[in-house]
Amino acid sequence: MRVFLFIVVALVLSSPVNAELTIEITQGVDNPTSIAIVPFGWQGSGIPKEDVSGIVQADLFRTGQFAPVDRDDMLSSPQQQSEVYYRDWRALGVDYLLVGRLIPSENHMVAQFELFDVYAEKRILTGSQSGAISDLRGVAHGVSDRVYEKITGIRGAFSTRILYVSAVKQAAGQFKFRLLQADVDGAGEEVILEQSQPILTPSWAPDGETIAYVSFETTRPAIFMHNLRTGVRQQLTNFKGLNGAPAWSPDGRQLAMVLSKDGSPDIYVMDIATRQLKRVTRHFAIDTEPSWMPDGKSIIYTSDRGGRPQIYQVTLATGYEERLTFEGSYNARARVVPDGSGIIIVHKGTGDYHIALLNIDKGSIEVLTETALDESPSISPNGAMLLYATKYQGKGILAAVSLDGGVKFRLPSRFGDVREPAWSPFLR
């Protein structure tokens, strides 16, 4: 039986007071790996503005795969290998031990760290992570990435970011919509766009700097491209009818989208450099929600051409189309796992709408969530976790689940509803 954690206020060490999103872990794996993360030594004056080792501890704990040792239970506080006594940590049942030092210089910070296998009594990783002294959280997330990869063999995604849309009800039934970006733990949030009209389907370009989204600010849905580094914002479409669901190609040179300018909604691809459009599907039914396969040669999408929404795939070079889903009365909003082995979908069988994993080779569907009215899945770049929007206690929230269904947590908002999550690619 899986371990249920049910933490009311989670990750106190690292969660900033004013962050819109909070994190509540609801389920972790059986027998999580025990790890001790000793408070990092500080080789500067005063005290650091962030608890770097606390952030690392929170990052690893949030995966549901690790059980960090409480600081009050630690028998010693080593900062380097010569100060490590393995018997102290074996007595606590610790599998891995992380120690480190923070070295500031002017506006720069270096975190030197060492990871030990306690039972093998050896150091298995030594490294350093540097960054601006104003970005200690980024330094901490970088350490987490290295430690996580060493222990699990999977690249860490703690240094990535997420996009999401919040909707806060105002007077007279009006809403304030905001497009935000934040660290994956909800910290460091930034408002990208704020307006009284809806914002939909944000999407990251592979460069991690450019995004696309749909805004209703021009009285009709329109697709915008927005550079997060420079702030430059461009409107890409202004056609009558539907302009929606932008999705970047793997090379970042094209944008798939849904347009109804020629009749019923179909899938189109825009060349970003020339703004030239190519129509990909032609059907009287609704074709929507495009997503690229990793090789960039085909697109999967939702269509009701069979009577109910199902997932289809079209090969761009030939135009050949095939249906991928047959199980269930509703399958939509497909997103491809980074290695191409599976597709995450919103699935409805005999009950509610859930997030599920379609195995491409076997054609089988595995339901991953137990929440209700689940939608808008977005997969982490390492393929380990996914975010989605759902309902909890009458509010729209974000939630996360591992691709094996073993780890789950919620990210409710402190203000209003949140929806439309988009997980960034790996960032430089």
**Half-sphere exposure of 425 toward its Cβ, with a 13 Å CA cutoff?**
18
CATH fold group of domain 161-423: Neuraminidase (2.120.10)
Instruction: Report residue 346's pLDDT band, with 50, 70 and 90 as the boundaries.
Output: very high
Instruction: Report residue 1's pLDDT band, with 50, 70 and 90 as the boundaries.
Output: very low
Pairing of strands 161-169, 122-132: unpaired
Residue with tokens 């995450």: 344
Q: Both tokens of residue 214?
A: 């749909």
Instruction: Please give the Cα distance from 331 to 51 (Å, whole number).
Output: 44
**What is the predicted pLDDT for the residue at 15?**
46
Does residue 56 carry a pLDDT above 90?
Answer: yes
Domain ranges of the chain: 32-152, 161-423
What pLDDT, in 10s, does the model give residues 164-200?
Answer: 999 998 888 889 999 999 999 889 899 999 999 999 9
Average pLDDT (111-128) is 97
**What is the predicted pLDDT for the residue at 29?**
76
Alpha-carbon separation of residue 262 from 180, 256, 267, 400 (angstroms): 33, 16, 11, 38
What pLDDT, in 10s, does the model give residues 351-381?
Answer: 889 999 999 888 889 999 988 889 999 999 9
Q: Domain spanning 32-152: which CATH class is it, in words?
A: alpha beta
State the amino acid at position 217 in one-letter form.
E
Candidates 380, 398, 400, 379; CA nearest to 389 is 398
Model-level pTM greater than 0.85? yes
The DSSP code for 83 is: G
The DSSP code for 3 is: B
